[in-house]
Every structure is written in C-alpha cells, then in structure tokens.
Amino acid sequence: MRLSTRARYGLRLMMDLGLHEGKRPVLLKDIAREERISEKYLGQIIIPLKSHGLVATRRGSRGGYVLGRPSAEIRIGEIVDALEGDLGLQDATGEQAVAEGPGELVSRDFWEGLGRAMRLYLDSQTLQDLVTRLKSIRKEPAQDAHYVI
C-alpha cells in the first residue's frame, strides 16, 4: 500500500507545526521552505486539515497556523484520514453472500485483518510521538562529522 504525497506532505506539515507548539504561529511559506514543499501545494493540503480541526488559523500581523489541538491528542490516523479518506483495504459491509466460497471468505478476512492492524498502528501513534523523535534526530550530531583542531 502506498500513501499519496498529500498524506506524506501533510504529516510533515503537521510535524512542523508540532515543533512550534506553544510558540508563535507559523506561516505556510516558512513550512514550505523548511520542508522543501511547494507553498501552493501546502495551501491545498491545509484545507482538509483545518476542516477536521487539526489545524487552526491565527489572524493578524503575528498570525499563521497552529495545531488545532495539543499534539499529544492528535492521532496519526486522524491526519491520514483527513487527507486520504478511509484507508479500508476492502469494503466490508458485513453482508455475506450465500454463494460465498471458502477462498473468498479467507481472503476477505485476511484483508480486513490487515486493515485493522494498519488502523491500530496509525491510531497508536500521536503527533507528539513523531515530533519527539524528530527533535531527538535534529539534536544528534552527524555521524560523518569530522572535527579539525
């Protein structure tokens, strides 16, 4: 399974906002520059994030974007859902056809199980979890750094 660039870039946008949580609002152009993503594309991505309450706007001379809720309360699954819609691997309506064969039953159960596992993983991670990892990576010195005295 492959997520679209909307979800991947949207997650990066949200992590950038998470890095600034509790600080000043962030301008979209600053996120675009930091993440090396088109500002125009981020402008399209932020719309569903705002409509789902994940991002809020602050107006005025010191305005910009902030998280709609604390990062610890935002599940990665919510971000993906806002940008991709339902990630269900198979449309399981709960109705079983009378002529459904064993192969179809086993196959459907497999895909539904995989979908549940993906959902559990996405919902087990918060935005704060990813921001914490990002902060720790940014603090680590480069492994290939050479110091000359």
pTM greater than 0.75: yes
Structural domain including 113 reads 5-87+97-139
Is residue 126 in some structural domain? yes
Phi–psi pair at 123, nearest 5 degrees: -85, -10
Is 92 part of any domain? no
On the question of pLDDT at 39 being above 80, the answer is yes
Is residue 108 one of the residues assigned to a domain? yes
Q: What is the CATH number of the domain that holds 125?
A: 1.10.10.10
Distance between CA atoms of residues 45 and 49, nearest Å:
7
CB 18 within 8 A of CB 128: yes
Q: Is residue 34 part of a domain?
A: yes
Residue 75 lies in a domain: yes
**How many domains are contained in the chain?**
1
Q: CA 149 to CA 73: how far, in whole Å?
A: 47
- Reported in sequence order, the residue ranges of 16-138 that DSSP labels E, i.e. its strands, are 55-58, 64-67
Looking at the domain assignment, is residue 144 inside a domain?
Answer: no
Which is nearest to 4 in space by CA: 57, 43, 41, 51? 41
Note the pLDDT of residue 93.
47
59 belongs to a structural domain:
yes
| Structural domain contains residue 146 | no
Structure tokens at 121: 């993983």
Distance separating alpha carbons of residues 64 and 58, to the nearest angstrom = 5
State the DSSP code for 93: -
Question: Any idea which of 11-15, 33-37, 47-51, 98-102 has the lowest mean pLDDT?
Answer: 98-102
Tens of pLDDT, residues 62-119: 899 999 999 999 999 999 999 998 766 554 445 555 557 888 888 888 888 988 999 9
